[in-house]
Every structure is written in structure tokens, then in C-alpha cells.
Structure 1
């Protein structure tokens, strides 16, 4: 009984410490099941043999000594019959001594069955726990896979959106570059026109200054001519007045 309890305790500690796979648990449970069935069959066989022995004693007594001697190497019960015939006074005591032995063996076998069933229940509980853990891990893996697929899909959408944004910005940059080139051409044209207007204005200023100078010189010349004309008339008037 103690050995079986130690065995069950060892199995429990092994299941708690080791990371046992589901297939290993199934194989171990099958082995324990087959061992339990085999021991139950042995117990049933022993019970039947005991019942047959009791029936034999009830029907035929202890049997003849010759049969007991011929079957002594095969059947322990016949050896007990022989001993009871040799020692008739102690036969009842021998049977009384055997009964506790039978009862003890039966109790031990029943305890063994109980221990095996307890171990089987423990294995079944461990198997259920492992199945729950397995289903939980499968669910977590499935959730992780779905999350990865969603992230990948969102990543693809983001990439498409970024690609569209890049194309839009590229188009805007090309448009701005074209507009900048056009503005540069317009600016060069305006600067050229301004330069031409400046040159024209300078030439007009020079022409105006030369015209003003020419008019001023012409005015001075005219005044000088007028002054020269006035001097002869004055001299003639003076001469006329002196003659008078």
C-alpha cells in the first residue's frame, strides 16, 4: 500500500515538475488503465480460486492423501490438506491462520485497486488540465495569428496610403518646380524690360538735358543779338540829338 502511494505521489510530482506532452499523458493513462485492468483480473482469479477452494472443502472435506501427495507440487491447497491429515489437531488452527492471510491479501488488493483508481483519476485530471492548457495555447496562437494578419493588412493599407501620399507630394513638387521655373522666366523678362526702360530713361534724360542746354544757349544768343541791334539805334539817336 505504501509502495503504491509512493508511486502515485511520484507520478503527481512528475506531472507537476515536468512539461508532459498530451501524447505522453495519453500513453501513460493507457498503461495505467491496462495495468489496473490486469490487476483486477488477477484479483478476480484469486477470488474465484478461493471460492473454489471453499466449495471443495465444503463438498469433499480434505480429500484423500494420495491425491494431495500427487498434486503437492501443483496445488498448495492439497499440501495443506496433507498437513491437516498428518496433524489433525492443528487443521482448524491452520485454516484459522490462513483466513487472516486471505483477508489481508484481499484488503491489500482492494487498497491497490483504490490506489490505481486514484492514480487514474489523478491522470484524468492532469489530462483535462493539459487539454485546457492546450486549448488555451491554441486560442492564444489563433488570436496572435489573427492579430498578425490584421496588422499586416493595416500595414499594407498604410503602405498604400503612404505611396499615394508620396505620389501626390511628388506631383506637387513637380508643379512647384514648373511654377518656379515659370516665375524665374517672368522675373528675367521683367528685369530685362526694366533694364531696357532704365536705359531708355537715361537716354531720354540725356536728350532732355542737351535740349535744355541748347535752348538756354539759343536764348543767350538771341539776347546777345537783340542787344547788338539796340546799340546802333542808340548811337544814331545820340548823333541826331547832338546835331540839333
Structure 2
């Protein structure tokens, strides 16, 4: 198995930070599972025919996955994919498709109730005192609704920007928002392809947050550093 090379991070070049959200600052799947359960309970009250056929989170998730294939125009917009998958099952069950809007809002509100990794808040506080920090996510979390907005200089999502990681354009837009060049940015994220390969392709330094100790599978490319928690990265930057 290939493993990342020893750290070659150049802290002196860093003038801004971009950072992923889901599975970097908080674990995403417990949140999604809870939000899907909340949605199912709401449908049971407001759209019982839909709940009877599609109330199981796994069934609704399968529809959402199919929507990803049939609506490639929405591939960058997880909110729209979720909303339109709800609308589709409402229609199939004979319920009012207009319920898709309030149903999605129930899901979305629960999706914003995140439980941070223990290292996330102290690391964000440390980073924000030293650099402009820009959120860079393919997901649909809102840094203000999750209660972290004060630590961010700006936030970019694939839904709002129109393309997501690993497209270099969203990385470059984040750098522009901080008033720096891409090579002056350190991008931090957990996804080897989207964050590490994407950030390297955009000309940034990259810190791979590898909490689970996964092997590196993208040689000869290598992250500039690999850490198992965010405070370890802060210590490297200090």
C-alpha cells in the first residue's frame, strides 16, 4: 500500500486557510440518519401515503441516489436533489407534491444540527485568530446555521457556486475571497479525491485529515501533510 510521504508543509507560505466541513469538522452520517428519521416522522403526519411507501430512510435514500443519475444538472446541489426526490415520492404516492418544500425544510433544519469532533472548535478558533478561514464544501451545511459563522471569513458551497470540488474553480474562488493566490492557501479536508487531489490540482498546499488511518491511494501525488486530528495540524503551523 502507498502511504503519504513525510510532511513537506511550508507554513511560512500560508496566508489563508480553506477547510472542508462534513467529516472534517463533524461526522456527517449520524446527522443524515437523524435528519432522515425526522423527515420520515413528518411525512407520517402530513403525507401518510408517502410515508407508507417511502417512509423507510433507506428507500427514500435510494430514490435520491437515482435522482442523482436522472438529474445530472442537479449533481452539485444536494439540497435540490433531496427536495426533488421528496417531490417525486409524494407524486408517486398521490400526495400533494407542494409538500416537498416544507418537508425539505424539516430535513434541512435537522441537517444543520451538527455535533463537532472534539478538536474542531479549538482548531477553528486557533486558525481564525491567525488566518482568514474559508469554508469549502460540496455539501449543504450552512456555517451560520450550525453556529460557526464567526470563525469564517467566507463560505463556498457547490450548490451556490455551481461546481464543487475537485474542480479548481471553486478552490480559486475561495482564494480570491481571502485576497490571496492559490499557492498561499492551505486546504484542509478528509476526502482524498475531492480535497487532496482537488486542492493539489488547484495549486494549494493540502493537509489531509485522515482520522481513520486510511491508506493513500493516489500516488505519485501526495498531501503536504497528513494528520489524524486538527489540533495536530495547528501544532505544525505554530
More helix by share: 1
Superposed pair shares fold, TM > 0.5: no
**Higher radius of gyration, 1 or 2:** 1
More strand by share: 2
Give the TM-score range, shorter chain.
under 0.3
TM normalised by structure 2 equals 0.20
TM normalised by structure 1 equals 0.20
